[in-house]
């Protein structure tokens, strides 16, 4: 995700992790502590709402088969369409990423707190993270990740494995991390880890 350096005074923490690692749980805790949280996945949904420029571009390139009966984007159909086609995936990213980037920058400029957390699931895959002040990785063992993904999405182990293999490896994610949260234990432990980092980020962002 090629994002230009934003013009703002907000210390920006990029939150990432593999699929089903617990990024949402971590971001929710940050939010309860008073931190502004910007979620790239949520923004990705807003840029393809009905009558949006983003959806019009997708329809132009991928056709109306990506729409549901109520004329909404059928994300499952689109995902299936691009999953095994690198050219189509690259095209999809070239359409959506600039729109998502623009909205992320706009939201960062509105941040009132000393630091903000930007949740970017595929940060490692993008290789574009120089605009961030710090990177936080939510980490779990691959076996746990696999189990959680199967349970969460009600999918087979084979499909879950394929989804994991389409992302950066655990080693690659940890290599870009400034901070790591281990999400293999209890919710109480997770809360404590986030609170410690919140204290750290509050201090260094002043």
For 128-149, write each residue's pLDDT tens digit: 788 999 999 999 999 999 999 9
Q: Which domain holds residue 55?
A: 11-204
- pTM for this structure? 0.87
Under the banding of pLDDT at 50, 70 and 90, the label for residue 188 is very high
Domain contains 1: no
Provide the number of structural domains found in the chain. Answer: 1
Domain contains 6: no
The residue with greater pLDDT, 166 or 154, is: 154
**Beta-carbon neighbour count of residue 149 at 10 Å?**
20
54/67 Cα distance (integer angstroms): 13
Domain contains 200: yes
Number of helices followed by number of strands (H, E) in the chain: 10, 5
**Beta-carbon neighbour count of residue 201 at 10 Å?**
24
Domain contains 58: yes
Domain contains 3: no
The CATH number for 189's domain is: 3.40.50.300
Under the banding of pLDDT at 50, 70 and 90, the label for residue 1 is very low
Domain contains 5: no
The CA-atom distances, in angstroms, between 148 and each of 45, 60, 103 are: 23, 36, 30
């Amino acid at each position: 995700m090629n994002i230009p350096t934003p013009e703002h005074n907000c210390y920006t923490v990029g939150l990432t992790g593999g699929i089903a690692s617990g990024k949402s749980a971590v971001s929710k805790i940050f939010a309860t502590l008073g931190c502004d949280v910007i979620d790239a996945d949520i923004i990705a949904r807003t840029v393809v709402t009905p009558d949006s420029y983003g959806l019009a571009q997708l329809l132009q390139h991928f056709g109306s088969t990506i729409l549901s009966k109520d004329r909404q984007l059928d994300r499952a159909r689109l995902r299936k369409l691009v999953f095994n086609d690198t050219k189509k995936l690259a095209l999809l990213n070239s359409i959506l990423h600039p729109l998502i980037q623009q909205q992320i920058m706009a939201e960062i400029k509105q941040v009132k707190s000393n630091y903000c957390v930007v949740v970017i699931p595929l940060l490692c895959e993008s290789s574009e993270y120089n605009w961030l002040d710090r990177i936080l990785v939510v980490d779990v063992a691959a076996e746990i990740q696999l189990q959680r993904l199967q349970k969460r999405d009600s999918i087979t182990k084979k499909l879950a494995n394929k989804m994991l293999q389409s992302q950066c490896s655990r080693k690659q994610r940890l290599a870009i991390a400034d901070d790591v949260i281990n999400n293999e234990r209890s919710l109480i432990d997770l809360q404590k880890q986030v609170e410690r980092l919140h204290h750290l980020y509050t201090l260094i962002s002043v």
